[in-house]
Structure formats: C-alpha cells, structure tokens
Amino acid sequence: MPLSLEDKQELKAAKYLLENPGITAKLTNLLGTPIEKGFNLLPENWRDKVGIATRDALMAALQGALFTMDSDAKEAYPRWHKFAAALSGGVGGAFGLPALIIELPVSTTIMLRSIADIGRSHGEILTTAESKIACLEVFALGGPSPHDDSSESGYFAVRGALARAVTEASEYLAEKAIVEEGAPALVRLIAVIAARFKVQVSEKAAAMAIPIIGAIGGGGINLLFIDHFQDMSRGHFVVRKLERKYGADVVRGMYESL
C-alpha cells in the first residue's frame, strides 16, 4: 500500500529532522565559534574519560528511565524535560568541565525519559522490549557530523549497523524484568550506541571548554543538547509508526526517494 499524501509529508518532515546537521553545527551557531577550538582545549586523556562516562550514563539511564514509565498513550511534554536538563546543566556548569562526568548520567536519564515520552505519544508501547531499545537507539542518531564516518551517518545506515545488537538486546529484555548491568547482550548494544553518542558528548565537552561558554552556561548547552535529541526522537518515531502501518521496506524506499 503506497503512503497517503499526509503520511508522505510526515515522513518528509521526519527525514529533515534526522538528516539535519548534528550537534557540532548547532553548537557552532550558538557560540559563533568553531567547536574544533574547544577540542584543542581539552586534556589529552579526556576522550577516554568521556567514553567510559558515556557507557555508564547510558546504562544508568536505561535502568532509571524506561523501567519507571507507564505505557498509556498521552501527549508528550518536552518542555518539562528541557527545564530539567537545563537545571542539571546549570548546576554542573557551575563546577566547570570536570563536573560533566558527574552530570552526564543525570542529563542522559532526563533525555531518555523525554525520548520515551515522545515515543509513547507516537504509539510506542513502552512495556515492550522493542520500544525500550528503540528509545535507546536515538542516542546513536546524531545527524551528519564531521567527526562521524560519512558512510555510517545516514539514518537507515545507523539502524542497520545497530541491527544485530538491537535484536540480541531486545530478546534479552523480553525475558527479564530488570536490567542486569553485566548482561552480554546489553553490554554489546550499549557499547555500539556509546561509540556514537560519545561523539555528541565530546562535542558538548568541547563547547564547555571554550571560554565564551561562561557567558552562556551549562544550562544553555544542555538545553540545546536535549532539543537536538528530541528532534531525533520525533523523526525516529514517525518512521517507526509508518513502518508499523506500511511495512519497513515501503517506508525506507519512500524515505530514500524523498
């Protein structure tokens, strides 16, 4: 069944969100300064610390967000989550760049709850393993970035790269009532998603390292950060909603032809 005109327009809007420039361009527009300058200001071992913190933050968010939300379909409330993220960033920003490691699990949990909230408003059943993993996938969707491998930056390319780990993790969560941190299926999925989310977190850290950030604050950066992933969520869950209606192959074909 071909997509209706209304659904085609909704898919077009979703593609615009998903394929738009990533955090780097948005932060540069906000700061008026290339993020690359911020990278030069980061300590040499910072990227390793960010990698570890990102994995820990995703696992903490999975445990603390998705398993505490009900699945009743309702309107999403992104503004509440933006306020919470800005507050978290403001508190963390008061203590400088090192506080990012402590603040990251908090802001990631807030973002995942917002992602799930948007997913639920698009028909996702949050009690299912598939929907929980679909929410987590959003952190791998950063939009095109100069720090990404361009061959893996497209929306469906990212989903394809995650496919095996997503399947294994979904099967695991379907059988478990709680998340076991050392479960191999979850560890593999978190590692794959963290590798991509780390790019976004590193760009956030680079922005915070730029001296001008003192005039804007961690709250402003977090506000932009959560706004970015809310956009990724809206695009992602529109695609999934249409896939449930028309089938994955039909939707992908139309997406790529737009």
H/E stretch holding 157:
helix 155-175
Cβ proximity of 148 and 142 under 8 Å? yes
Percent of the chain predicted with pLDDT > 70? 76
Label residue 216 by pLDDT band (50, 70, 90): low
At 162, is the pLDDT very low, low, confident or very high (cuts 50, 70, 90)? Answer: very high
Instruction: Answer yes or no: are the C-beta atoms of 233 and 138 closer than 8 Å.
Output: yes
Q: Please check whether residue 77 is in contact with residue 116, taking contact to mean a CB–CB distance below 8 angstroms.
A: no
Q: How many CB atoms lie within 10 A of CB 80?
A: 13
> What local confidence, expressed as pLDDT, does residue 151 receive?
40
Q: Model confidence at 189, in pLDDT bands (50, 70, 90)? A: very high
Supply 93's token pair.
């920003």
**Integer Cα distance of 213 and 239 in angstroms:** 35
Residue 146 has pLDDT above 60, yes or no: no
Interatomic CA distance for residues 27 and 195, integer angstroms: 20
Strands (E), 98-257: none
Nearest-5° angle of CA 81, CA 220, CA 235?
50
| d(C-alpha 205, C-alpha 196), whole Å | 15
220-240: b (≥16 Cβ within 10 Å) or e? bbbbbbbebbbbbbbbbbbbb
Range among 21-30, 169-178, 205-214 with highest mean pLDDT value: 169-178
**Gap between the Cα atoms of 169 and 28, Å rounded:** 35
CB-based contact 210:94 (threshold 8 Å): no
Work out whether the CA dihedral 138, 140, 145, 151 comes out positive or negative. negative
The torsion of the CA quartet 165, 168, 169, 173, rounded to 10 degrees, works out to 170
Residue 229 pLDDT greater than 80, yes or no: yes
Whole-angstrom distance, CA of residue 2 vs CA of residue 167: 28
Q: Which residue has the tokens 């790269």?
A: 161
